[in-house]
């Protein structure tokens, strides 16, 4: 894994960059002091790498792999993992079972490469018994995952890392900053100019206020679900990569992507994911929750 950071001086802030969690990560720090900016960048990068190592489903010694290989034997949890799984449990309950961190096994059937390769129903039918958070058992400090099932914290891990890194930075400096891990981000504090940060959203189809894909954010977390480039197209029907854990099929009539602003990045992430899972009712749901959002259809 590349463990490098770069720091570049901008007009009135420092921009630090590094790679983590499969994408570019960026920290914008409103300070003139190079040392302060460098220390902040290292703090954020270390936290991102720590969380990636601990919860990645690709790394063989991660907690997630340890759980996925447990074959139905209870796994002892450290307090941080226990809290994250409790959070996933609450999201599952809140979304009536639609937000499910065990639904990742469906990736074996679905490859969203822009082609028209729709899997056979029998392949999906074989996978459905391996999905369902309700089949797992989360106890005080242990977790039991039935053999063959897998968990994937991809839906909340990156957003959690953003909030964690931001909370660590907040403890060391009062200046305004942005933590942006691959488009999921958090803005903290007011800039000296009093102006909001301008954030570029990586989606050419998004119609923002300025028409340039830039939005203004004075504070709070922002997360995007959906990917305009990941889909299947067959017989004129567009299949989004958001999968319904109950049917094993893509959610129909879901927006291509949904971007939500909330108090924290992880809250924004859950809101945007649950909105996508609501399919045609995504916007109605977000309206009723009273959040600032952008959707692309």
Partner 1 sequence: MQLGSVFRSRLRAATCTLLAVTAGGAMAADFGTKWTFEGASLLYSENKRTSVFEPLLIVKRDYGDGQTLQGKFVFDAMTGASPTGAAATNKVQTFTTPSGNRYQAQTGEVPLRHFQDQRASADINWTKPLSRKLRTELGGHASAETDYASLGATATMIGDFNQKLTTLTIGGGANDDRITPVGGVPVGLTRVNSLDHEETTLSKNIVDGMIGVTQILTPRWLAQLNYSYAAEHGYLTEPYKVISVVDPITGETASGDYVYEKRPDQRARQSVMFSSAYHLKYDVLHISYRRYWDDWGIASNTIDLKYDLQLSDKVYLEPHWRSYHQTAADFYVYGLPRGAPLPEFASADYRFGDLTTQTIGAKIGIQTGEYQQFTARIEYMRQSGNEHPDEAVGVQRDFSLFPPIDILIMQVGYSIGLP
- Contact set with partner 1 (CB under 8 A): 78-80, 82-84, 86-87, 90-91, 94, 139-141, 160, 163-164, 167, 170-174, 189, 263-264, 266-267, 270-271, 274, 288-290
Residue 154 CB partners (closer than 8 Å, separation 6+): 57, 104
Nearer to partner 1, 94 or 212 (CB): 94
Minimum distance from residue 211 beta carbon to partner 1 (Å) = 26
Burial class of 6 by CB neighbour count within 10 A (0 to 12, 13 to 18, 19+): exposed
Minimum distance from residue 290 beta carbon to partner 1 (Å) = 3
Encoding tokens for residue 132?
């369902």
Minimum distance from residue 124 beta carbon to partner 1 (Å) = 29
Catalogue the E-assigned strands of the chain: 5-9, 14-20, 23-29, 75-76, 137-138, 142-144, 177-181, 184-188, 197-200, 214-217, 220-225, 231-234, 237-240, 257-262, 292-296
Look-up of token digits 């307090």: 79
| Nearest alpha-carbon partner for 280 in 248, 246, 244, 247 | 244
Minimum distance from residue 93 beta carbon to partner 1 (Å) = 8
Nearer to partner 1, 105 or 187 (CB): 187
Nearer to partner 1, 52 or 267 (CB): 267
Minimum distance from residue 30 beta carbon to partner 1 (Å) = 13
Look-up of token digits 């803005």: 187
Minimum distance from residue 35 beta carbon to partner 1 (Å) = 12
Nearer to partner 1, 25 or 271 (CB): 271
Nearer to partner 1, 202 or 289 (CB): 289
Burial class of 65 by CB neighbour count within 10 A (0 to 12, 13 to 18, 19+): middle
Encoding tokens for residue 272?
């945007």
Compute the distance between CA of residue 110 and CA of residue 240 in angstroms, rounded to an integer. 10
Phi, psi of 145 (to 5 degrees): -115, 120
Nearer to partner 1, 59 or 138 (CB): 138
């Amino acid at each position: 894994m590349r463990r490098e950071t770069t720091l570049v001086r901008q007009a009135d802030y420092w921009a630090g960059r590094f790679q983590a969690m499969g994408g570019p990560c960026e920290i914008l720090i409103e300070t003139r002091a190079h040392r302060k900016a460098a220390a902040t960048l290292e703090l954020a990068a270390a936290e991102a790498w720590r969380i990636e190592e601990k919860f990645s489903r690709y790394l063989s010694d991660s907690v997630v792999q340890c759980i996925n290989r447990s074959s139905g034997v209870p796994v002892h949890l450290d307090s941080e993992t226990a809290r994250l799984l409790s959070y996933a449990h609450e999201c599952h309950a809140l979304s009536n079972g639609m937000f499910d961190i065990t639904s990742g096994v469906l990736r074996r059937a679905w490859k969203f490469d822009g082609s028209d390769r729709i899997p056979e129903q029998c392949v999906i039918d074989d996978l459905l018994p391996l999905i369902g958070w309700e089949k797992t058992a989360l106890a005080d400090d242990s977790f039991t995952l039935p053999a063959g099932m897998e968990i994937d914290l991809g839906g909340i891990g990156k957003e959690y890392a953003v909030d964690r890194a931001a909370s660590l930075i907040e403890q060391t400096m009062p200046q305004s900053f942005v933590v942006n891990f691959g488009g999921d981000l958090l803005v903290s504090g007011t800039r000296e100019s009093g102006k909001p940060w301008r954030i570029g959203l990586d989606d050419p189809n998004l119609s923002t206020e300025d028409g340039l894909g830039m939005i203004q954010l004075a504070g709070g977390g922002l997360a995007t679900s959906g990917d305009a480039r990941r889909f299947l197209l067959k017989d004129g029907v567009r299949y989004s990569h958001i999968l319904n854990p109950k049917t094993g099929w893509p959610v129909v009539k879901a927006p291509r992507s949904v971007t939500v602003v909330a108090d924290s990045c992880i809250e924004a992430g859950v809101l945007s994911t649950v909105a996508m899972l609501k399919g045609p009712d995504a916007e109605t749901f977000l309206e009723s929750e009273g959040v600032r959002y952008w959707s692309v259809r």
